[in-house]
């Protein structure tokens, strides 16, 4: 894969839940030096620092973004920096500003400098209660109730516009809740599905902020990364959707997840105290129709609920034994 004069990949939000693992995967594939990790955390984890360049970057500042793209000869951006759904409701003005200004800057820089490719994640949060909640179709009514969802719908339309108007090769998937063992998510409605593992292993108790029967679409990190890499490698002629592709893996409720965890930790107790995030979850799909992604670029997830739980418990138990949890 590595070519001598290869240009560089920039990952914004590289210290976040997806960014921290995607950056390492890209570095394995393309060489550490060729993948610039950018974030706003002053102290990123050691793996990020040890495997390639790390820079501080606020993507809402266009001139800083331009400088980084020039300095490192960047030709591909994975733009992951964003404020998620629950955090967004706490400060909607800030969420709109960060999510929209940074995406606009990335698309503008891609246009001006003729970048090769851009990846930007959208979310199941683009859907609202008016959309069918079971097997939610690729093309349906998008009337989200969160500012995060509003920014994702606007972002999808902006990406599509930049493709049609300026031929910017921007690609996107609508991620469901992402479960991962390395970096905690921050500020999302689906975060319970990660927190529950840490608490089950450490304390054998968890208080879930959603009702026991709240079914949401979810995905394990290896599938999440695979979606981004497969889509980015696909031949441009295969990408028929330039807003964002539905991608699905599994759907389950907190009660179903807790029951699966109990198979490994029999005395685990899960309690339920729904808060404001319940309303957000109730406005989102329960399952997703991802036929278009499967047909166009061969999307296919590998992990189901049982294999996610097995892998998470193994990984986190090991980290606890090593004193790293
Ligand atoms: N996991 C995200 C959230 O809960 C969904 O995009 O905000």
Q: How far is the CA of 247 from the centre of ligand 1 (A)?
A: 14
CB atoms within 10 A of CB 111: 16
Percent residues over pLDDT 70 in the chain: 98
Provide mean pLDDT across the span 205-209.
Answer: 98
Residue 1 reports pLDDT greater than 60: no
Q: By alpha-carbon position, which residue is closest to atom 2 of ligand 1?
A: 188
Written as one string, the DSSP assignment of 153-164 is HHHHHHHHHHHH
Give the pLDDT of residue 4. Answer: 52
Provide mean pLDDT across the span 100-125.
Answer: 98
- DSSP bridge pairs for 265: none
Q: How far is the CA of 82 from the centre of ligand 1 (A)?
A: 10
Provide mean pLDDT across the span 99-118.
Answer: 97
- Does the annotation count 303 as an active-site position? no
pLDDT tens, residue by residue, 236-277 = 999 999 999 999 999 999 999 999 999 999 999 999 999 999
Q: How far is the CA of 125 from the centre of ligand 1 (A)?
A: 7
Q: Which CATH class is domain 178-218+249-321?
A: alpha beta
Give the pLDDT of residue 99. Answer: 98
Ligand 1 close to Cβ of residue 34 (< 6 A): no
CATH architecture of the domain with range 2-176+221-233? 3-Layer(aba) Sandwich (3.40)
Q: Which of 148, 192, 220, 245 is catalytic?
A: 148
Provide mean pLDDT across the span 106-126.
Answer: 97
Measured from the CA of 190, which atom of ligand 1 is nearest?
A: 4
Mean confidence (pLDDT) of the chain = 96
Ordered by start, the domain boundaries in the chain are 2-176+221-233, 178-218+249-321
Written as one string, the DSSP assignment of 217-230 is EEEEHHHHHHHHHH
- Tokens 């295969």 belong to residue: 238
pLDDT tens, residue by residue, 122-166 = 999 999 999 999 999 999 999 999 999 999 999 999 999 999 999
Q: How far is the CA of 188 from the centre of ligand 1 (A)?
A: 4
Per-residue b or e along 284-305, where b marks 16 or more CB atoms closer than 10 Å to that residue's CB: bbbbbbbebbbebbebebebeb
Give the pLDDT of residue 325. Answer: 78
Dist CA 185 CA 189 (whole Å): 10
Query: By mean pLDDT, which of 4-8, 60-64, 118-122, 313-317 is the weakest?
Result: 4-8
CB atoms within 10 A of CB 203: 10
Ligand 1 close to Cβ of residue 102 (< 6 A): no
Percent residues over pLDDT 90 in the chain: 93
Helices (H), the chain: 17-30, 46-51, 62-71, 85-90, 92-113, 147-166, 192-203, 221-233, 254-262, 277-282, 291-297, 305-321
Ligand 1 close to Cβ of residue 125 (< 6 A): yes
DSSP reduced 3-state for 45: coil
Per-residue b or e along 221-247, where b marks 16 or more CB atoms closer than 10 Å to that residue's CB: bbbbbbbbbbbbeeeeeebebbbbbbb
Measured from the CA of 185, which atom of ligand 1 is nearest?
A: 1
Measured from the CA of 187, which atom of ligand 1 is nearest?
A: 7
Residue 87 reports pLDDT greater than 80: yes
User: Given pLDDT bands bounded at 50, 70 and 90, which one contains residue 5?
Assistant: low
Residue 2 reports pLDDT greater than 60: no
Provide mean pLDDT across the span 163-175.
Answer: 98
């Amino acid at each position: 894969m590595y070519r001598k004069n290869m240009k560089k990949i920039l990952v914004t939000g590289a210290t976040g839940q997806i960014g921290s693992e995607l950056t390492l995967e890209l570095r394995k594939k393309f060489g550490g030096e060729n993948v610039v990790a950018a974030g706003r955390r002053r102290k990123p984890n050691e793996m990020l620092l040890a495997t390639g360049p790390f820079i501080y970057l606020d993507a809402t500042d266009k001139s800083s973004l331009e400088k980084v793209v020039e300095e490192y000869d960047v030709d591909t951006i994975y733009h992951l920096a964003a404020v998620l759904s629950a955090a967004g409701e706490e400060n909607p003005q800030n969420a709109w500003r960060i999510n929209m200004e940074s995406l606009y800057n990335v698309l503008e820089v891609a246009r001006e400098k003729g970048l090769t490719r851009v990846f930007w994640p959208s979310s199941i949060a683009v859907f609202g209660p008016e959309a069918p909640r079971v097997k939610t179709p690729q093309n349906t009514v998008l009337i989200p109730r969160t500012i995060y969802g509003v920014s994702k719908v606007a972002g999808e339309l902006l990406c599509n516009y930049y493709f049609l108007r300026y031929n910017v090769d921007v690609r996107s998937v609508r991620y469901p809740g992402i479960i991962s063992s390395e970096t905690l998510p921050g500020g999302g409605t689906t975060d319970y599905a990660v927190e529950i593992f840490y608490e089950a292993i450490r304390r054998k108790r968890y208080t879930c902020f959603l009702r026991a029967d709240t079914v949401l679409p979810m995905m394990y990190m290896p599938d999440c990364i695979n979606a981004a890499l497969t889509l980015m490698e696909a031949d441009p002629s295969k990408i028929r959707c330039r807003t964002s592709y539905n991608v699905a893996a599994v759907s389950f409720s907190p009660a179903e997840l807790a029951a699966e965890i109990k198979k490994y930790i029999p005395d685990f107790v899960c309690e339920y105290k729904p808060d404001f995030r319940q309303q957000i979850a109730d406005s989102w799909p329960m399952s997703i129709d991802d036929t278009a992604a499967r047909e166009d670029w061969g999307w296919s997830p590998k992990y189901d609920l049982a294999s996610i739980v097995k892998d998470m418990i193994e990984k986190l138990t090991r980290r606890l034994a090593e004193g790293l949890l």
